[in-house]
Chain A
Amino acid sequence: MLTPNGDKMASAPHIAVIGGGSTGIGIARDLSMRGLDVTLVEQGNLTHGTTGRMHGLLHSGGRYAVADQASATECIEENRVLRDIASHCVEMTGGLFVKRPEDTEKYFQEKLAGCEECGIPAEVVSREEARAMEPHLAKDIDKAITVPDGAIDPFRLVVANAASAMEHGARIETHTTVTDLLVEDGEVVGLEVEHDSGSGKRVHGTEGGREEIRADYVVNATGAWAGRIGEMADVDIEVRPSKGVMTIMNVRQVDTVINRCRPKGDADIIVPHETTAILGTTDEEVEDPAEYPEEQWEVDLMIDELKELVPILEEARTIRSFWGVRPLYEPPDVGSDDPTDITRDYFLLDHETRDDLPGMTSIVGGKFTTYRMMGEEISDHVCNQFGIDADCRTADVPLPGSEKFSVLRDYMDEFGLRSPIGRRSVERLGSRADEVLKTTDPNPVVCNCEGVTRAEIQDAIEQSGSDLNAVRIRTRASMGNCQGGFCCHRMANELHGEYDESVARQAWDELLAERWKGQRHALWGEQLSQAMLNYALHATTQNRDNDPADGEPVDFAAFDAGSTPAQSSGEAGVAADGGTEHGD
Chain B
Amino acid sequence: MAIESEVLVIGGGLAGLTSALSAARTGADVRLVSYKQSTLRSASGLVDVLGYTHDGEGPVTDPYATIPELPDPHPYRTVGIDAVREGLDLFDDAVPNYQGGHTDTNALLPTHGGTIKPTARYPASASAGLASDTRDLMLVGLESMTDFDAPHAAAHLDAAGVPFDVRGVTIQFPGDLRADAKVTRYAKLLDTNGEVTVRGRDRPAREALAARVNTELDEEERVGFPAVLGDDHAGAVRADLADRLSADVFEVPMGPPSLPGLRLEDALFAALDEAGASIETGNPVVDFDGEDRIERVYIEKNGAEIPNTAEEYVLATGGLVGKGVQSDREGVYEPIFDCHIPHPADRYDWFENEVFGDHEFARFGVETDNDLRPLDGGGDVEFPNLRAAGSVLGGYDLAAEKSGSGVSIATGYAAGRSAAQEAV
What residues of chain A have their CB less than 8 Å away from a CB belonging to chain B? 295-296, 300, 303, 416, 418, 441-446, 454, 486-487, 489-490, 492-494, 496-497, 500-502, 504-505, 512-513, 515-516, 520, 523-525, 528-529, 531-533, 535-549, 553-554, 556-564, 566-567, 570-584
Contacts and interface: CB of A to CB of B under 8 A. Distances in A.
A523 B239 contact: no
Contacts of B144: 442, 444
A446 B328 contact: no
A501 B156 contact: yes
Candidate in B132, B148, B263, B398 with the most chain A CB atoms within 10 angstroms: B132
Given A556-B132, A567-B133, A576-B128, A532 B151 contact: no
Contacts, number: 302
Given A535-B359, A579-B238, A570 B231 contact: no
B323 to A, nearest CB: 7
29 contacts: A444-B144, A444-B179, A444-B180, A489-B113, A489-B147, A490-B147, A493-B152, A496-B151, A496-B155, A515-B355, A525-B326, A531-B351, A535-B356, A535-B362, A535-B399, A536-B404, A538-B356, A540-B43, A541-B113, A541-B255, A544-B113, A553-B161, A559-B105, A563-B102, A564-B127, A572-B246, A575-B249, A582-B232, A583-B231
B30 to A, nearest CB: 24
Contacts of A515: 355
Contacts of B400: 539, 545
B22 interface: no
A442 B130 contact: no
Contact of B222 (A504, A533, A558, A572): A572
A544 B351 CA distance: 18
A74 B329 CA distance: 40
Nearest to A454: B146
B108 A554 contact: yes
B248 A576 contact: yes
Contacts of A445: 146, 179-180
A529 B348 CA distance: 16
Question: How extensive is the interface on chain B, given as a class?
Answer: 35 or more
A384 to B, nearest CB: 48
Contacts of B108: 554, 556, 559-560
Interface string B323-355: 100111100000000000000001110110111
A584 B235 contact: yes
B399 A548 contact: no
A75 to B, nearest CB: 35
Contacts of B5: none
Contacts of B354: 513, 516
Given A442-B179, A525-B327, A559-B108, A573 B132 contact: no
B258 to A, nearest CB: 8
Given A560-B106, A560-B132, A567-B133, A500 B155 contact: yes
Contacts of A562: 99, 107, 127-128, 130, 132-133
Candidate in B105, B124, B222, B260 with the most chain A CB atoms within 10 angstroms: B124
A523 B351 contact: yes
A584 B118 contact: no
A501 B155 contact: yes
B111 A542 contact: yes
Nearest to A446: B146
Contact of B350 (A501, A523, A545): A523
B58 interface: yes
A413 to B, nearest CB: 14
Given A489-B113, A540-B399, A584-B260, 6 more contacts: A416-B179, A492-B152, A493-B152, A553-B161, A560-B105, A583-B266
Contacts of A564: 127
B70 interface: no
A557 B132 CA distance: 6
A540 B123 contact: no
Nearest to A577: B124
B267 interface: yes
A583 B233 contact: yes
Contacts of A531: 320, 351, 361
Contacts of A296: 346-348
Contacts of A584: 97-98, 123-125, 234-235, 260, 263, 267
Contacts of B423: none
B282 interface: no
Contacts of B348: 295-296
Given A563-B99, A584-B97, A584-B267, A524 B130 contact: no
A444 B329 contact: no
Contact of A524 (B113, B221, B233, B347): B347
B56 interface: yes
B115 interface: yes
Given A300-B329, A554-B116, A548 B242 contact: no
Contacts of A303: 329
A543 B147 CA distance: 15
B160 interface: yes
A515 B112 CA distance: 21
Contacts of B103: 560, 563
B146 A560 contact: no
Nearest to A514: B355
A295 B266 CA distance: 46
B145 A444 contact: yes
B295 interface: no
B242 to A, nearest CB: 5
B395 to A, nearest CB: 15
Nearest to B399: A539
B146 A576 contact: no
Nearest 6 interchain pairs by C-beta? A579-B239, A584-B97, A542-B113, A493-B149, A501-B155, A496-B152
B417 interface: no
B239 A574 contact: yes
A572 B180 contact: no
Contacts of B152: 492-493, 496-497, 501, 504
B134 interface: yes
A283 to B, nearest CB: 22
